[in-house]
């Protein structure tokens, strides 16, 4: 059993099922991301790990101990909230040490812990300030410091960066990653931001409607999405999806043959699928001298790359092209790609055709 074991956890409110049987094993020192759209159940699951809510069925173990119905104070966890949850009448040092004080930790040890985490988070100069005198990023560091001072078995983060601006989000994301590399404390992190999920996690659990659609490394999730939902949710811009029919030699969309590999052709036959969705990441598409014809309808330069929307006979496709492009809106172009970059999903089940 790992540092955290979630077994067949379900949660219902009356006849409404919020979580529909979650099974996750988290190893010691691992950084697990729970990601998904609003309402998918990720925060509900985190609250049950924290002891703020109880499951309708299933069990939760932390370090081989059944804590399914244990009080939060008996779980040896530390949680960082989206709202920081700092005491406004206490200064930074008091906020960091408050949890230790409630556990009757001697003052000398409390002071040592405060100095240790303050150095780690580079907030030594803020220890005498009140939360109202701090910026959003500084408050988040203090909230993290309060969790770190405890040296718990498990860190829980509930969308901690949601209230920060774009620049601070990038900075704090790096801080959290470096912090985990230093402490190697088992961490569960909830977010709806797929960039946070891909950059922070050792593994990612992509959730939808109370179900884990896929659990794997960032590379697994991105390179081999298990379902159409995962494929579209992870990645920006989203994966292009083309409705297609299985033909004798591969896949056809509106009378146009879409290239597949021999292995994909065999998988289609084995799956006995008739209707499939043909997926292509935007970076897999490139402008070429020949290929799928189309017309450029919009260009979105971002600096290092350009997003080009191209209207083709099989639908509007987004290409992610490095640098600037010479093509102009309204210009006729051709798109090419390698069949090795194609992703095939059963149109009925929406699961990957392996």
The CATH number assigned to the domain holding 302 equals 2.40.50.140
pLDDT at position 120, please? 82
Q: Are residues 98 and 210 in the same domain?
A: yes
Q: Is residue 354 included in any domain, yes or no?
A: no
Q: Is residue 226 included in any domain, yes or no?
A: yes
Q: Are residues 132 and 82 in the same domain?
A: yes
Residues 6+ apart with CB under 8 A from 302: none
Q: Are residues 211 and 331 in the same domain?
A: no
CB 286 within 8 A of CB 336: yes
Q: Is residue 116 included in any domain, yes or no?
A: yes
pLDDT at position 148, please? 84
Q: Is residue 352 included in any domain, yes or no?
A: no
Q: Are residues 225 and 88 in the same domain?
A: yes
**Calpha distance 222→115 (Å, rounded):** 40
CATH number at residue 205: 3.40.50.300
Q: Is residue 299 included in any domain, yes or no?
A: yes
Q: Are residues 159 and 33 in the same domain?
A: yes
**Looking at 211, 231, 251, which one is the last position of a domain?**
231
Spell out the alpha helix ranges (H) of 103-253: 107-121, 136-149, 166-183, 194-200, 218-223, 228-233
Q: Are residues 186 and 295 in the same domain?
A: no
Among candidate residues 52, 7, 53, 4, the one with its CA nearest the CA of residue 152:
4
**Looking at 196, 231, 266, which one is the last position of a domain?**
231
Q: Are residues 224 and 162 in the same domain?
A: yes
Backbone angles phi, psi at 146, to 5 degrees: -60, -40
Count structural domains, the chain: 2
pLDDT at position 85, please? 83
Q: Are residues 55 and 13 in the same domain?
A: yes
Q: Are residues 74 and 126 in the same domain?
A: yes
pLDDT at position 1, please? 58
Domain of 17? 4-231
> Would you write out the chain's pLDDT as a tens digit for each of its 354 residues?
579 999 999 999 999 999 999 999 999 999 999 999 999 999 999 999 999 999 999 999 999 899 999 999 899 898 888 777 899 999 999 999 998 888 889 999 999 999 988 988 889 999 999 999 998 888 888 988 888 888 888 999 998 888 778 887 888 888 889 888 988 999 999 999 999 999 999 999 999 999 999 999 999 999 999 999 999 999 989 999 999 999 877 899 999 999 899 999 999 988 888 899 999 999 999 999 999 999 999 999 998 999 999 999 999 999 999 988 889 999 999 999 999 999 999 999 999 996
**Looking at 231, 248, 277, which one is the last position of a domain?**
231
**Calpha distance 159→133 (Å, rounded):** 23
The pTM of the full predicted model, rounded to 2 decimals, is 0.89
Count other Cβ atoms within 10 Å, centred on residue 150: 19
Q: Are residues 196 and 256 in the same domain?
A: no
Q: Is residue 178 included in any domain, yes or no?
A: yes
Q: Is residue 136 included in any domain, yes or no?
A: yes
Q: Are residues 227 and 287 in the same domain?
A: no
CB 343 within 8 A of CB 279: yes
Q: Is residue 148 included in any domain, yes or no?
A: yes
Among candidate residues 161, 100, 86, 160, the one with its CA nearest the CA of residue 130:
86
**Calpha distance 247→253 (Å, rounded):** 10
Q: Are residues 187 and 261 in the same domain?
A: no
Count other Cβ atoms within 10 Å, centred on residue 337: 21
């Amino acid at each position: 059993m790992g540092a955290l074991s979630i077994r067949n956890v379900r949660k219902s409110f009356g006849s409404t099922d919020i979580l529909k049987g979650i099974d996750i094993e988290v190893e010691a020192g691992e950084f697990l991301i729970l990601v998904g759209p609003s309402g998918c159940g990720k925060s509900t699951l985190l609250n049950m790990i924290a002891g703020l809510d109880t499951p309708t069925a299933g069990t939760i173990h932390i370090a081989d101990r059944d804590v399914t119905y244990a009080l939060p104070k008996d779980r040896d966890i530390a949680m960082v909230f989206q709202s920081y949850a700092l005491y406004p009448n206490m200064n930074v040092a008091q906020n960091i040490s408050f949890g230790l004080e409630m556990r009757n930790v001697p003052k000398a040890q409390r002071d040592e812990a405060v100095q240790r985490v303050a150095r780690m988070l580079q907030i030594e100069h803020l220890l005498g300030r009140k939360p109202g005198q701090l910026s959003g990023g500084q408050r988040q560091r203090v909230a993290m410091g309060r969790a770190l001072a405890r040296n718990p078995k498990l860190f829980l983060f509930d969308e901690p960066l949601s209230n920060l601006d774009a620049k601070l989000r990038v900075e704090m994301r790096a801080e959290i990653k470096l912090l985990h590399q230093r402490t190697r404390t088992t961490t569960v992190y909830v977010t709806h931001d797929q960039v946070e999920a891909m950059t922070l996690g050792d593994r990612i659990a992509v959730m939808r409607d109370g179900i884990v659609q896929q659990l794997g490394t960032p590379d697994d999730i991105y390179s081999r999405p298990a379902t159409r939902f995962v494929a579209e949710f992870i990645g920006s811009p989203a994966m292009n999806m083309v409705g297609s029919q299985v033909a004798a030699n591969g896949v056809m969309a509106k009378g146009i043959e879409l290239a597949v590999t021999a292995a994909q052709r065999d998988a289609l036959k084995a799956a006995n699928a008739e209707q499939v969705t043909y997926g292509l990441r935007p970076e897999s598409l490139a402008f070429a001298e020949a290929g799928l014809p189309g017309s450029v309808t919009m260009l979105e330069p971002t600096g290092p790359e350009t997003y080009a929307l191209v209207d083709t006979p099989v639908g509007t496709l987004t290409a992610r092209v490095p640098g600037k492009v010479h093509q102009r809106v309204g210009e006729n172009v051709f798109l090419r790609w390698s069949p090795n970059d194609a992703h095939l999903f059963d149109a009925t089940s929406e699961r990957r055709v392996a």
